[in-house]
Amino acid sequence: MIIVMKPNAKAESIQQVKSIIEEKGLYAHISDGHQVTIIGVVGDKAMLMDQNLEIYEDVDKIVPVTESYKLANKKFHPEPTRVQVGNVTIGGDTTVIMSGPCAVESRQQLLATAHAIKKAGAQILRGGAYKPRTSPYAFQGLEEEGLSYMKEAREETGLPVICEVTSLGAIESAVKYVDMLQIGARNMQNFYLLKEAGKTGVPVLLKRGLSATIDEWLNAAEYIIAEGNPNVVLCERGIRTFETATRNTLDISAVSVIKSKSHLPIIVDPSHATGVRAYVKSLSMAAVAAGADGLMIETHPDPSNALSDGPQSLTFEQFEDLTNELVPLVKLMGKRL
């Protein structure tokens, strides 16, 4: 449930309600708006059955929350969340573009990509050091060596860096090098991994699972936030359907649904959604028009020889063309790159 306080409620009244909730062994999540404070109750609300909270001073009303996710719920936190990743803010008046190779293959490859995407307008460098692949014989990533190249790229370009993590060991290594952790689609419901990522306090990009509903996705985010880490960004990357023309089916409606259900920022990954570089531009435009807070686009110096996901990766020139075409649309949406 959520407890809506009256406009300009006194601090003493808010503290009184918070104390009552905590005395019952529940958690009180306070969201301060411009005029109205909302107190979200996390836990078994039956513990408050003997308390008529509406009689307390400055309590306006009690609203039940039927969704199982609470901390990720817009009802608990009406104001949109902004997540700080290095010197970049996700979830504001800027459309954030993350770009880079699917897999970090070498120092030279990553540094060349970092400089190229920064020149074209990207704000965050992405790169895979740990690669969970469908085939056990496919390139699995450079692991900590790749992370060291990402750190070097950040030092050279000033771009914050993000890398996918696949295990507790990967998290322990990655937090020493990167500014943001990525939980991939295959691990969206790896609840142990979600909890460990939450414990780090480092911003987390949570990709939607291959066949996950939006409620399942938000419940996965809840695992991270419940560990005390509110810095979660959601990423729509396409879902598995009967269609075979693209790698996955981009659920562009997920942007609108998330905006209505949650306060968390959402970005779109058109590269994994389509698997075809020729479709990346149009889906990027669609995502921005739908109100996404950013994009994640795969870029590679030589896609035809990439060790992972070459067919969906843009060349440096194609990426620069895309960012140039996005500028007027982003401006039309009241944002900036």
Least confident stretch, 22-36, 79-93, 140-154: 22-36
- Give 258-277 pLDDT, tens digit per residue: 999 999 999 999 999 999 99
- Give 63-96 pLDDT, tens digit per residue: 888 899 999 999 989 899 999 999 999 999 999 9
- Would you say the CATH fold of 83-332 matches that of 2-63? no
What is the residue type of 22? E
Closest CA to 269 of 136, 164, 116: 164
Measured distance CA(120)–CA(299) in Å, rounded: 11
pLDDT band of residue 8 (cuts 50, 70, 90) is confident
- Site of tokens 């914050």: 160
pLDDT at 104 over 90: yes
pLDDT for position 137: 66
pLDDT for position 45: 80
pLDDT for position 326: 97
Measured distance CA(7)–CA(103) in Å, rounded: 51
Percent of the chain residues topping a pLDDT of 70: 99
Measured distance CA(186)–CA(174) in Å, rounded: 18
pLDDT for position 105: 94
Q: Does domain 2-63 fall into CATH 3.30.70.1140?
A: yes
pLDDT band of residue 133 (cuts 50, 70, 90) is low
For the domain covering 83-332, report its CATH number.
3.20.20.70
| 3-state secondary structure (DSSP) of residue 44 | coil
State the chain's mean pLDDT as an integer.
94
DSSP annotation of 286: H
CB 179 within 8 A of CB 169: no
pLDDT at 160 over 70: yes
| DSSP line for 297-326 | EEB-S-GGG-SS-GGGPBPHHHHHHHHHHH
Kindly list the domain boundaries of the chain, sorted by start residue.
2-63, 83-332
CB 127 within 8 A of CB 161: yes
